[in-house]
């Protein structure tokens, strides 16, 4: 199932048109797909962009999609590796690195998705870009199958298929992604995930309170006499000493979500998202 198809099922379950997801999940990948309902779709940019994955890399195999779903380009025997040798190779991918996306990816090329061009038979020259791999942990190495299992914590825009391809190149035998599960995205983990069966129960599972999803950000509660000014989009004063451009969750006097602001100067908040705007 594609991420778009999953969004369609959520729309039907909740009877809403306005539904959006926070980061495409490839059809072959399982795991966490954050979805926002109604006005909460406007909050997606304020969530943490870090993502975590658990995957299996197959050495000795190169495909045109960098995973097992693609056509095989090359096969080679994988070397006899020790865990220490694998760690040395993995260390090249820890921290900030330059990574070229897979040919079959959602990257835009001249107004089109790369995967559409690739499936039409085109070879695309995709530019490498900087991504950050915060954690890259070797979980298991199965030498008889040439497979290694890894745990990855990375920035948005990182492709684990590219990591598998590039690791295989470093080891001199080629590699591709055999299996992948996203264990965390935008601050949500598998333990919070709702299955499709649960989604289609009657009634559907209540969505999470947006304030819980935004709990990693600072908060500012409005006074009663400031509510009208906030609803009209006026600057708000605050006593907190936050850094310039810090996103801030703004609460109503009753403690409900009023919207989002950014610090625009000393003791000043500029409204960026007003949920109950006047007029």
Return the closest-CA partner of residue 167 out of 75, 93, 103: 93
Helical ranges in the chain per DSSP H: 3-14, 83-90, 114-119, 160-170, 196-199, 210-213, 227-231
d(CA 63, CA 75): 9
| DSSP string over 77-111 | PPP---HHHHHHHHGGGSEEEEEPPPSSSS-EETT
Return the closest-CA partner of residue 105 out of 163, 188, 41, 187: 163
Return the closest-CA partner of residue 26 out of 164, 177, 246: 177
| DSSP string over 179-210 | EEEEEEETTEEGGG---HHHHTSSSPPPPPPH
Return the closest-CA partner of residue 184 out of 2, 53, 30: 53
Return the closest-CA partner of residue 154 out of 50, 22, 48: 50
Which residue matches tokens 């950014």? 262
Catalytic annotation, residues: 26
Distances from the Cα of 103 to the Cα of 25, 67, 110, 216, angstroms: 16, 11, 14, 35
């Amino acid at each position: 199932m594609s991420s778009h198809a999953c969004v369609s099922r959520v729309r039907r379950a909740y009877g809403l048109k306005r539904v959006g997801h926070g980061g495409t999940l490839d059809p072959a990948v399982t795991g966490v797909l954050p979805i926002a309902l109604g006005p909460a779709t406007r909050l997606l940019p304020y969530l943490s962009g870090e993502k975590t994955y658990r995957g299996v890399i197959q050495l000795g195999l190169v495909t045109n999609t960098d995973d097992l779903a693609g056509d095989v380009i090359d096969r080679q025997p994988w070397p006899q590796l020790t865990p220490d040798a694998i760690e040395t190779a993995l260390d090249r991918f820890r921290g900030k690195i330059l990574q070229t996306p897979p040919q079959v990816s959602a990257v835009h090329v001249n107004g089109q998705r790369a995967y559409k061009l690739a499936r039409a038979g085109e070879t695309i020259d995709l530019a490498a870009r900087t991504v950050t791999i915060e954690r890259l942990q070797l979980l298991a190495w199965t030498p008889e199958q040439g497979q290694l299992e890894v745990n990855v914590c990375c920035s948005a825009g990182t492709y684990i298929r590219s990591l598998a391809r590039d690791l295989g190149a470093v080891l001199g035998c080629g590699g591709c992604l055999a299996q992948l599960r996203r264990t965390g995205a935008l601050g949500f983990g598998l333990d919070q995930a709702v299955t499709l069966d649960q989604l289609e129960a009657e009634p559907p599972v209540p969505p999470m309170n947006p304030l819980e999803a935004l709990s990693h950000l600072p908060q500012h509660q409005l006074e009663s006499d400031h509510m009208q000014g906030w609803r009209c989009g006026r600057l708000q004063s605050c006593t907190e000493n936050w850094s310039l451009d810090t996103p801030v969750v703004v609460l109503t006097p009753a403690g409900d979500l009023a919207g989002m602001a950014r610090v625009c100067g000393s003791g000043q908040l500029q409204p960026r998202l007003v949920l109950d705007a006047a007029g």
